[in-house]
Amino acid sequence: MSADSLLRVRDLAVHFPAGHRNGRRLFVHAVDGVSFDVKRGTTFGIVGESGSGKSTTAQAVMRLVEITAGEIELGGVPLSKLKDEALRSERSRFQMIFQDPFSSLDPRRRAGAAVRQTLDLLGVGDLKRRDETVAEMLTAVGLHPSAARLYPHQFSGGQRQRLCIARALASQPELVVCDEPVSALDVAIQAQILNLLRRLQREQFLTYLFISHDLAVVQNICDEVAVMYLGEFVEKAPTDAIFGGARHPYTWSLMAAALSPEPREGRRPDRFIVAGEPPSPIDPPAGCRFSGRCPFATERCHREKPALRELAPGHQVACHYAETLDCPIPALRQAA
Amino acid sequence: MGDEPLLEVRDLVVEVDTGKTVLPVIDGVSFILAKGRTLGIVGESGCGKSMTALAVMQLLPPGFRIASGEIRFCGEDLARVGERRLRALRGNDMSMIFQEPMTSLNPVYTVGDQIGETLRLHQRLGAAAARQRTIELLRSVHIPAAERRVDDYPHQLSGGMRQRVMIAMALACRPKLIIADEPTTALDVTVQAQIFRLLEELREETGTAIILITHDVGAVAEMADEVAVFYAGKRAEFGPVDTVLSRAAHPYTRGLMASTPRLRLGPAAAGAEPALKEIAGVVPPLGEFEPGCRFSPRCPLADLRCRDVPPPEETVDRDHSALCWKTGLELVA
């Protein structure tokens, strides 16, 4: 672990109770032993499908769900151990942007008041200066200061997400957790928001934990990427390394399934499509969790769980056969 | 194209009555779909793509009505035929797949009941024959253990399986046309890839024509033969998919493609990610359009004429046209 990491997560597990079966208590293994560091001023992306545990990881970092095991440290402060007032006093340092800018704003609260509320609740800055701060925040995200008087329904989806970003940044946080921040937006607006997040990061030296199901978006904004499947990281590497030479079959399946707006000439007719859907996170498979869908799986994969191990500096893969598998994606084969 | 048109929509205008005023949500849209082809309709929310689908199916929500234009399906003008005839056509000759399979399946009936109902109503099959055919249909959409799954309720199926059931239901009577409105938007990418492959496969087998409504240019590239790009209730561009994606003529289409992040794999992944091109501004609200081109306030090429005079339908190439004064001009962004 390098000294300049702002967020440090170790062996994080989040299990939710899921009733009983045959007298035994069941748990949803939403997150099951995840570790990562996020360096200051960089963006760490977690990509995966629904049920992978990526959003639960984000919520655990935000201390919005109860942590079953593991440690979370923000700039040396053990977030996972803090309670009540001690936790509240740290809140201004880490803030969140949600997927749906419609349901994450109070419809009866004016835009300015929504941003100001963050300042008031967290007691940030001089009382007299707070209205000025609100105006500055709105300007920073590309809204006119006069928009402070408007209600959320008077904004478009993209403007509402800008407002949510202004609200998140008002307390001058070091870490911003972005949970699918552009998924609910139209493409043209997605580009505006992604570019805005990049600009704000440059200007304010922000650190992002960025959750997304969209590989192209993740490649666009992240410095390092973890691919999550059924509560675990299956691959983790710097962005260039993972898109240049991914080694986990699940990562390959995500890359092959991503649609490209290129004309058809460049399409692969025999592309790599895995069958089935992720199994239930209650009672996950004993061996490799992807083994049930993996076309390369052997008997060993069903039995023995592969550890996340380092293939190249910073590039970790959880697959018994990571070195030897023949990659089904032509572009990735060229790199090897 | 060459083939006789299966569906021909001409100068379609759909209006909504807001109580205070009447506004056009679709304003003079035309397109042609030949037998067995796939037409992609792509655009942002509010562009009128879903309303076009509902107008074709004659299922417009209350307050919306077709003000003018023609919708010819196998020669019949759907805007003029009666409800009885429509009911015979829907389900039988044309059917629809919706975005959210959970809300479009009835939670209190089994999958078999729901597909079987279509078969009994439209094909007049008896109970046993309908069940047998339902199992065959579930097999054709690759639902494992179809003979058991037929008795499942929707909540017992995963999202991908539910969408397969919706597709099986849409295919039950071997329709000539399927309208798929964002059929994979609620699904995960690996499941989306499975569903697209399935639709492709079924189209080859049955010769069904498909209208794919989507916000995703990538989905159009994957599935469609022709594409119509919608903007603010107008058809901004129309043409063969390869032509439109490689030589887009309308500045909006170009902007849409430039703002879509692209995956760069292998050697192409090296180096810093270029910033995405943005389309400045937002779609103006309904009824607050410029007198000229509706895209002009956001268009980098727009001049006074663009703002004041509605653009003509310019033919760029044989089957390729764009609603623009500046067609052919290079985009200088």
**Mean pLDDT for chain B?**
90
Rounded-to-integer distance, Cα B279 and Cα B257, Å: 10
pLDDT at A156: 85
Say whether A244 and B265 touch across the interface (CB within 8 A). yes
Least CA distance to B190: which residue of chain A? Answer: A257
Q: How far is A273 from chain B (nearest CA, A)?
A: 7
The model carries a pTM of 0.89
Return all residues near B296 (Cβ < 8 A) that are at least 6 apart: B290, B302, B306, B307
Q: What angle do CA B260, B263, B265 make, to 5 degrees?
A: 160
Question: By three-state DSSP, how is residue A91 classified?
Answer: helix
Mutate to test the interface with B, among A159, A212, A250, A264 (most CBs of B within 10 A): A264
Write the single-letter amino acid at A87.
L
Return all residues near A215 (Cβ < 8 A) that are at least 6 apart: A47, A243, A254, A255, A258, B189, B263
> What stretches of A43-142 show up as alpha helix (H) in DSSP?
54-61, 84-90, 111-122, 130-140
* Beta strand extents in B150-265 (DSSP E only): 177-181, 209-214, 226-231, 234-240
Looking at chain B from residue 261 to 320, which residues have their Cβ under 8 Å from any Cβ of chain A? 261-271, 273, 275-279, 282-283
Q: How far is B225 from chain A (nearest CA, A)?
A: 10
- C-alpha pair distances (Å), B59 with each of A95, B89, B173: 44, 12, 19
Say whether A239 and B269 touch across the interface (CB within 8 A). yes
Question: What's the average model confidence in pLDDT over A168-195?
Answer: 92
Looking at chain B from residue 148 to 187, which residues have their Cβ under 8 Å from any Cβ of chain A? 158-161
Q: What is the third-level CATH fold of B7-93+175-322?
A: Rossmann fold (3.40.50)
Buried b (16+ CB within 10 A) or exposed e, A158-194: bbbbbbbbbbbbbbbbbbbbbbbbbebbbbbbbbbbb
Could you tell me the CATH number of the domain that includes residue A53?
3.40.50.300
pLDDT at B332: 42
* Residue span of the structural domain in which A18 resides: 5-102+173-190+199-335
* Chain B residues touching residue A212 (CB < 8 angstroms): none
Confidence of residue B3 (pLDDT cuts 50, 70, 90): low
Q: Kindly tell me if the per-residue pLDDT of A110 is higher than 90.
A: yes
Confidence of residue B1 (pLDDT cuts 50, 70, 90): very low
Tell me if B176 sits within 8 A of B35, measured CB to CB. Answer: yes
Rounded-to-integer distance, Cα B257 and Cα B241, Å: 13
Q: Tell me the torsion sign for CA atoms A124, A98, A106, B18.
A: positive
* Chain B residues touching residue A265 (CB < 8 angstroms): 242
- C-alpha pair distances (Å), A89 with each of A41, A61, A64, A86, A139: 22, 16, 15, 5, 27
pLDDT at A189: 87
pLDDT at B331: 46
Is residue A306 within 8 angstroms of chain B, CB to CB? no
pLDDT at B30: 95
pLDDT at A73: 97
Confidence of residue B329 (pLDDT cuts 50, 70, 90): low
Percent pLDDT > 70 in chain A is 96
How far does Cα A110 stand from its chain's mean position?
Answer: 29
**A253 assigned to some structural domain:** yes
pLDDT tens track for B247-260: 999 999 999 999 99
pLDDT at B192: 87
Phi-psi region of A297 (alpha: psi -120 to 50; beta: other; left: phi over 0): beta
Say whether B189 and A257 touch across the interface (CB within 8 A). yes
Q: In what helix (H) or strand (E) does residue A256 lie, and over which residues does it extend?
A: helix A249-257
Q: In what helix (H) or strand (E) does residue B133 lie, and over which residues does it extend?
A: helix B127-140
Q: How far is B9 from chain A (nearest CA, A)?
A: 26
Is residue B21 within 8 angstroms of chain A, CB to CB? no
Place of tokens 């052997």: A298
Q: Kindly tell me if the per-residue pLDDT of A3 is higher than 60.
A: no
pLDDT tens track for A32-88: 999 999 999 999 999 998 889 999 999 999 999 999 999 999 999 999 999 989 999
**A125 assigned to some structural domain:** no
Q: Where are the domains of chain B?
A: 7-93+175-322
Phi, psi (deg, nearest 5) at residue A123:
60, 45
Q: In what helix (H) or strand (E) does residue B16 lie, and over which residues does it extend?
A: strand B5-17
Q: What angle do CA A279, A280, A285 make, to 5 degrees?
A: 65
* Chain B residues touching residue A258 (CB < 8 angstroms): 189, 218, 263
Question: What's the average model confidence in pLDDT over A130-149?
Answer: 91
Question: What's the average model confidence in pLDDT over A264-284?
Answer: 74
> What stretches of B41-110 show up as alpha helix (H) in DSSP?
49-57, 83-89, 101-104
Say whether B279 and A191 touch across the interface (CB within 8 A). yes
Q: How many CB pairs under 8 A join A and B?
A: 156
* Weakest-pLDDT range from A257-261, A304-308, B37-41, B128-132: A257-261
Sheet containing strand B209-214, strands side by side: B94-97, B177-181, B209-214, B38-42, B226-231, B234-240, B320-323, B313-317
Least CA distance to B46: which residue of chain A? Answer: A186
* Chain A residues touching residue B216 (CB < 8 angstroms): 187, 259
- C-alpha pair distances (Å), A87 with each of A68, A71, A84: 17, 14, 5
Domains of chain A: total? 1
Rounded-to-integer distance, Cα B166 and Cα B143, Å: 12
pLDDT at A268: 52
Confidence of residue B333 (pLDDT cuts 50, 70, 90): very low
If you write DSSP's letter for every residue of B193-214 in order, what string do you get? HHHHHHHHHHHHHH--EEEEEE
pLDDT tens track for B292-326: 999 999 999 999 999 999 999 999 888 999 999 98
